[in-house]
Structure 1
Amino acid sequence: MRIVVISHITLDGVMQGPGRADEDTREGFTQGGWAAERGGDEAVGRAWGRRLAASSGYLLGRRTYQDVLGHWNTQDSPFRDALNNAPKYIASNTLAEPLPWPNSTLLSGDIPAAVAELKKTPGDDLHIMGSGALIRSLSPLGLIDEYLLSVHPLVLGTGRRLFADGFGPVAFRLTDATPTDTGILIATYRPLDG
């Protein structure tokens, strides 16, 4: 399987709290919901939908797993059943089995080694959404094969970024780019060594 990040980010690389004001308020972050405030972008929805339709499931960190479970399972939404039915691999050394969400498998201990083993499994792409700490732990090790980023024409000036200070240098190859009517750039990148 390939590991693919799918994320909303701002021009200054912030990925924290794109969906809701209360989604991620760590470190006093008060600008949550910045992607949702811009309204739904049909082109972004189609691009993400195409990718997720051929998914072998999700790879999530503990915080994202608990937030997604807590939010979407309380909503009457078409996402709820799809998320419940999809295989989910949860990277955490603080959670214990059994996990509360159906079709969830705990990856614990040496998370990068567990992900490297998971990549050897036959299947389509395994998608990481949210899970910034997980992304930042896997990226320097070359365990992420592709990044599908919806880059919003917005600078927040604060918030957790996709790539933290000290990451790199890593060069990426742009494999696809589509601007939308709302000014979002849907860009797909692969590490040059991948």
Structure 2
Amino acid sequence: MGMLVVVENVTLDGVMQAPGGVDEDTRGGFRHGGWAHPYADRVMAETMGRGMSDDGVLLFGRRTYEQFHGFWSKQTDGNPYTEVLNRKRKYVASRTAVEPLPWENSFLLTGEATEAVAALKRDVEGDLVVLGSGELVRSLARAGLVDRYMLSIHPLTLGAGSKLFADGEQAYGRYELVEAIPTTTGVIIATYRPTA
């Protein structure tokens, strides 16, 4: 049975929207895209690289899948993430995507996302890693399917944007700290396990 691991960049005020680029996700008039870039460093690259090399599969919502495919499938600069992302088996939870999916080793989950992911967890060996995919993550959290959160907590606040846990949605939850790694730029890469 696999472990479902959510990997997210978040700000101190919980925003997870558009960490990678200015135009990554402008829903709701969000104007702060690309906020994570100034905080990248060697420690973060090594820590994320360790996780990427593990066995397991990737899980995306449609929007994040399309963004990752649009960027990573076209990279030719020798970045080790490129080979891993292209090689790994990728599952997409979507109500609107249709097969065949354009990125190699990609498979569409059919039916209700939480039920499909619960079945996938039973069948997968290793970690089932969710990158980004906020709406999907919130539905998986509500269903009690998340086994670990690996959060890169950035030392800034944005005051607006989509949050990992939307207001009122995750009214109460307790988490155990499994690991905390500080970076040279003030980011804390914290891994939590839900306990209640």
TM norm. shorter chain > 0.5? yes
2:175 paired residue number:
172
Residue 119 of structure 1 and its aligned partner are, at CA, apart by 0.6
Alpha-carbon distance in structure 1 between the residues aligned to 2:27 and 2:15: 13
| Counterpart code for 2:147 | D
Residue 179 of structure 1 and its aligned partner are, at CA, apart by 1.6
1:36 paired residue number:
37
Deviates more, 1:134-143 or 1:120-129: 120-129
Aligned-pair identity (%): 49
Aligned length: 192
- Give a deviation string over 1:118-151, Cα, whole Å, max 9, x none: 1111411111111000000100111010001110
List gaps (5 residues or longer) in structure 2.
none
Residue 120 of structure 1: SS of its match in structure 2? helix
1:6 paired residue number:
7
Give the 5 Å matches for 1:70-149: 70-77=70-77, 78=79, 79-149=81-151
1:57 paired residue number:
57
Alpha-carbon distance in structure 1 between the residues aligned to 2:173 and 2:8: 18
- Give a deviation string over 1:21-48, Cα, whole Å, max 9, x none: 111111111101100133x221111111
Alpha-carbon distance in structure 1 between the residues aligned to 2:12 and 2:67: 25
CA RMSD of superposed structures (Å): 1.2
Alpha-carbon distance in structure 1 between the residues aligned to 2:175 and 2:13: 17
2:46 paired residue number:
46
CA, structure 1 residues 101+35, in 2 after alignment: closer, same or farther (shift >3 Å)?
A: same
Alpha-carbon distance in structure 2 between the residues aligned to 1:74 and 1:22: 18
Structure 1 residue ranges (4+ consecutive) displaced by more than 4 angstroms after TM superposition? none
1:17 paired residue number:
18
Q: Which of 168, 177, 186 is matched with 1:183 structurally?
A: 186
Q: TM-score, normalised by structure 1?
A: 0.94
| Counterpart code for 2:70 | G
Residue 106 of structure 1: SS of its match in structure 2? strand
Checking the alignment, whether the CA contact within 8 Å between 1:18 and 1:36 is kept in structure 2 is yes
| Counterpart code for 1:43 | V
Alpha-carbon distance in structure 2 between the residues aligned to 1:25 and 1:108: 28
Q: TM-score, normalised by structure 2?
A: 0.94
| Counterpart code for 2:100 | P
Alpha-carbon distance in structure 1 between the residues aligned to 2:10 and 2:55: 21
Deviates more, 1:68-77 or 1:170-179: 68-77
Alpha-carbon distance in structure 1 between the residues aligned to 2:124 and 2:72: 28
